[in-house]
Amino acid sequence: MLQSPPPPCNLVLGSTSRYRRDLLGRLGLPFEVAAPAVDETPLPEESPHALALRLALAKARAVAALRPEAIVIGSDQVADLGGQPLGKPGNHERATAQLRRMSGQTVIFQTAVAVVCQAMGFEQVDLAPVQVRFRSLDDAEIERYLRAEQPYDCAGSAKSEGLGISLLDAIDSDDPTALIGLPLIRTCRMLRAAGLVLP
């Protein structure tokens, strides 16, 4: 007897980030991953926090348009240095330049999360800013760090969950996983509001 395929999962992470996937996995909920088709180019004069909020919501909406019955999570993070957005460096040279700029500075990592379910008409978005104070860094320690961890896919060129913590003087946040890429306290709050039962 042929078995029918399992019903589609009703929770979807609209992100291909392995960091967000690992964080969401902590909640013990079954979920799928879908890549959102969203242009991440900042708008003219757009502030880093506005950019993060817009992109998180755009990602959730893009996936929800394809999966209207699902509860979709979208998230985005923008490193904010004095009101200027810092993106993912992508390579060693740009990461070196970013860390030189951030040396001795306070950077706000604007981490936004959105939850959307088209079928329910549900939509929420929130921001979890994280203040990170970098130590004064010399070129030798920047080079050692980048060679060791190669954080070229991370906004701000440092992984606080790894060796990057050694570059910092302080982290100030009310949602501890926000700096890694998904603020789980806010995410849980929104998922409960959307009707999911969390363990």
- Give me the pLDDT at residue 8, please: 46
The strand pairing partners of 40, in sequence order, are none
Tell me the fold of 11-193: Maf protein (3.90.950)
DSSP output for 84-135 = EEE----SHHHHHHHHHHHTT-EEEEEEEEEEEETTTTEEEEEEEEEEEEEP
Mean local confidence (pLDDT), 89-94: 96
Average pLDDT over residues 21-48: 95
Which pLDDT belongs to residue 199? 77
The pair of three-digit structure tokens given for residue 32, joined into one six-digit string: 């799928």
Q: Average pLDDT in the 14-34 region?
A: 95
Q: Say whether pLDDT at 7 is over 90.
A: no
In contact, 10 and 70? CB cutoff 8 Å: yes
Q: How many CA atoms lie within 13 A of 163 on its CB side?
A: 12
How many CB atoms are closer than 10 A to CB 6?
A: 7
Six-digit token pair at 148? 């060791």
Give the residue extent of every domain in the chain.
11-193
4 pLDDT exceeds 70? no
User: Quick check: 54 pLDDT over 60?
Assistant: yes
122-171: pLDDT as tens digits: 999 999 999 999 999 999 999 999 999 999 998 889 999 999 999 999 99
136, with CB counted inside 10 A (0-12, 13-18, 19+), is: exposed
Q: Active-site residue numbers?
A: 76
Q: What is the pTM of this model?
A: 0.90
Across 93-100, average pLDDT: 96
Query: Which tokens in the block code for residue 97?
Result: 């330049």
Exposed e or buried b per residue across 58-89, where buried means at least 16 C-beta atoms within 10 angstroms of its C-beta: bbbbbbbeebeebbbbbbbbbbbbeeebbebb
The mean pLDDT of the chain is 93
57-71: pLDDT as tens digits:
999 999 999 999 999
